[in-house]
Amino acid sequence: MPRRYDPDRRRRLIDAAIRVVGRDGIAGLSHRTVAAEADVPLGSTTYHFATLEELMVAALRQANENFARVLAERLPEDDSGDLAADLARALGEWLGGERTGVELEYELYLAALRRPALRPVAAEWTEDAAALLARRTDPVTARALLALMDGICLQVLLTGGSYDEEYARVALARLIP
């Protein structure tokens, strides 16, 4: 049987990995579960991703793009507007969407604590997000804002509570000189 040309297979495998982690957690991720989710032969996963670590790195990188996109859309490069309000709105948009996707992003992000292969991707995301924020404030404040935003997101996710945009705006404003 001739090999079928499938230029999007790698991306479909990453999407499938994200769905598996979203549904079953990191513990449920395997080449076999991803192949089944993507409806491809098992060999396809190992062809594109020799190890599960490689697959998780790709999934984390793709998941990070979601919040980075929201942040970039909400933060114009010019210094106009209220930075705290812009950031609070961005968090609201992110947390107001598909909660499973946000949980998944944090699960992959926090998996870097135990999986050294994920650490460079987590660090890359932190650096990129801090650089984006530093367009509107100094680098130290940018990192502090990012840490506070992570804390707010984790509190909302872990408590199952609702996001309070006004609280976030006030808290973020306290860090901005």
CATH code of the domain covering residue 4: 1.10.10.60
Backbone φ/ψ region at 168: left (φ over 0), alpha (ψ -120 to 50), beta: alpha
Question: How does pLDDT run across 47-103, given as a tens digit for each residue?
Answer: 999 999 999 999 888 888 877 887 888 887 776 789 999 999 999 988 887 777 788
Q: Are residues 20 and 70 in the same domain?
A: no
Q: In this structure, are 40 and 96 located in the same domain?
A: no
CB-CB contact of 129 with 71 (8 Å): yes
For range 12-25, the mean pLDDT: 90
Q: Is the dihedral of CA 8, 9, 14, 15 positive or negative?
A: positive
Indicate whether 32 and 103 sit together in one domain: no
Question: Looking at residue 21, what is its pLDDT?
Answer: 87
Same domain assignment for residues 67 and 153: yes
Residue 56 within a domain: no
Q: Are residues 75 and 158 in the same domain?
A: yes
pLDDT tens per residue across span 24-38: 988 899 999 999 999
Place of tokens 């840490």: 147
- Shared domain check, 155 and 80: yes
Number of domains in the chain: 2
| Nearest Cα residue to 64 out of 108, 119, 31, 96 | 108
Nearest residue to 8 (alpha-carbon basis) of 34, 38, 46: 38
Q: Reduce the secondary structure of 123-136 to three states and give it as a string.
A: HHHHHHHHHHHHCC
Q: Of 12, 29, 50, at which residue does a domain stop? A: 50
Instruction: Tell whether 57 is covered by a domain.
Output: no
- The whole-angstrom separation of Cα 105 and Cα 107 is 5
Domain end among 28, 50, 72:
50
Task: Tell whether 25 is covered by a domain.
Answer: yes
Query: Where would I find the H helices in 25-164?
Result: 31-38, 42-48, 52-74, 83-96, 99-111, 119-134, 139-159
**What is the residue range of 23's domain?**
1-50
Q: Contact, 131 vs 60, CB < 8 A?
A: no
- pLDDT band for position 5 (cuts 50, 70, 90): low
pLDDT at 3 over 80: no
